[in-house]
Every structure is written in C-alpha cells, then in structure tokens.
Amino acid sequence: MTTALTTSPDAPGAGRPDGDTAVRISHVHKTFGRPGTAAPVLEDINLTVAPGEFVTLLGASGCGKSTLLNLVAGLDKPTSGTIEVPGGRPALMFQDHALFPWLTAGRNIELALRLAGVPKEERRPEAERLLELVRLQGSYKKRVHELSGGMRQRVALARSLAQGSQVLLMDEPFAALDAITRDVLHDEITRIWAEKQLAVLFVTHNVREAVRLAQRVVLLSSRPGRVAKEWRIDLPQPRRIESAGVADLSIEITEELRGEIRRHVQH
C-alpha cells in the first residue's frame, strides 16, 4: 500500500524513461517585505516534480503553500533559490474560477489558445474539443454566470489546458465546492491527468483530498514553510475518497499535520 516515509527533500519522481523533471524547486526562500525585518514565509524548499507526476502540497494556514505555487507560476519571485520549469510557463488554476465574465465559456478557452499562439482557424474546434474533455459539450455559448460552481471550475480547467503546458498548478481549486461536486471533480481531474499525462502540483489543506488524488503528498510545516515529510501513495486510481486505504493514510497524515500545528503553541 503506502511505502516508506521519506524526509529526504529530493525524493525521486516517478522515474519516467525520459528522466526529465517538470518542476525543480531548489533551496527556495521567500520573505515578504524587507529582508531581516520580516519572518520568512518559505525556508529552504526543495521539491522536484517528475513529468506526469501528481503531487499534492499539504499544510495548515500560514505554511506558504499558495505563495510557493505563485512562485512556480512566475507571478512572484523567490527571495533566493531557483525554480526551473523546463516546459515553459505552467498553467495555474485558482480557487476562484477566474473566468472572464465578458466572454462566453468557449471564448474564455479561445482567448487562452490565442495567447498561446494557436492560429485563428484552429481555435474554435480546439475549444470545442477541450469542452468535450471536461464533459461540457454544448456549453460553448454559455455565459459564466449561467454555469454552476462545478461547471465553472471545469471550464477553468479546460482554459488552463488550452495553454498547452504539461505542468498544471492548482491552488485549492475545489475548496469552495460542495462535497458531491468536489467528489465528481476529483474523478475528472484524475481522468484528465492520466489521459494528458500532466505533471500536477496541487495545493490543498484537505488531507483526504490530498490522499485521494496524489501519487505523492508533501507536508509543509508552518511559519516558516518547510518540507516536513513526504508520502508516496501507491493505491490504484481511480480511488474513492471514502475507501479504507485513503482513510487509513489520511489518519496518519492528519496526526503529523496536527503535530506540526501543535509546535506553534510554545511560541
């Protein structure tokens, strides 16, 4: 079932034949404000994601997991250390769907294709294909406010895929959804991840979600954010969030997480 707990930050990835890395984070520190005055948000983060690997970043509030994702996305720069994304600008999905309300669902995707340099005549069919991939065929002309929360996140996923990046960053994308919708979207993202062979770096504070989705769970400590522990998960996909295997590992990880949070009582 689950294999050894490794604290080694440079745990090898899925060991793909090409041996490439999708994301390499080396000795990253991040401090907001002037150095020396403010406490660091991230401290010496080392993490490698292999192509096609699904990694969840887990942590309590204040662990800097969203900050780390922004750094990988290139929206912000690390104070020191390096981040390499050999495949170019990664796609990023937010907790808020961030779809543009002045465009239809299909046009949102086409804008992403356009900005990615896809020629005009290929955009419409490609947008239709992506909508079909997230099972929203026939929603091309729908306005954002006409879609439910789950449908919006699926359009947002399709728009992220339209960038054509092999690296998908997800910042608590299902946190605002109800349990049933979230469950269905877990199946969706698992299916699409396998189909497209994406490298996914998925941030969440929900332990079960992390275990349900990932091949590898990375636990971050809080203030400063540091890689505390990693778990490899070999349960077969698609998993069910209520299955015994997911539950057992979730209990173990939750205990670690609680321990990390408790450390802050003394300070």
Q: Is 98 in the site for other proteins (CB under 8 A)?
A: yes
Selected from 116, 118, 176, 261, the binder of other proteins by CB under 8 A is 116
Nearest distance in Å: CB 160, other proteins: 8
Q: How far is the CB of 230 from other proteins (least distance, A)?
A: 27
181 binds other proteins (CB under 8 A): yes
Single-letter amino acid, residue 33: G
Q: Is 118 a residue that touches other proteins (CB under 8 A)? A: no
Q: Is 141 in the site for other proteins (CB under 8 A)?
A: no
Q: How many residues bind other proteins (CB under 8 A)?
A: 38
* Residue 166 touching other proteins (CB under 8 A): no
Show the 3-state SS of the chain.
CEEEEECCCCCCCCCCCCCCCCEEEEEEEECCCCCCCCCCCEEEEEEEECCCCEEEEECCCCCCHHHHHHHHHCCCCCCEEEEECCCCCCEEECCCCCCCCCCEHHHHHHHHHHHCCCCHHHHHHHHHHHHHHCCCCCCCCCEHHHCCHHHHHHHHHHHHHHCCCCEEEEECCCCCCCHHHHHHHHHHHHHHHHHHCCEEEEEECCHHHHHHHCCEEEEEECCCEEEEEEEEECCCCCCCCCCHHHHHHHHHHHHHHHHHHHCCCCC
Residues 45-84 that bind other proteins (CB under 8 A): 73-75
| 157 touching other proteins, by CB under 8 A | no
Q: Which stretch binds other proteins (CB under 8 A): 12-20, 40-48, 135-143, 258-266?
A: 135-143
Q: Which is nearer to other proteins, 118 or 261 (CB)?
A: 118
Nearer to other proteins among residue 1 and residue 180 (C-beta): 180
Nearer to other proteins by C-beta: 189 or 228? Answer: 189
Reported residue count of the chain is 267
120 binds other proteins (CB under 8 A): no
Could you list the residues that contact other proteins (CB under 8 A)?
73-75, 89, 91-92, 94, 96, 98, 100-103, 111-112, 115-116, 135-136, 143-151, 159, 163, 180-181, 183-184, 187-188, 191, 238
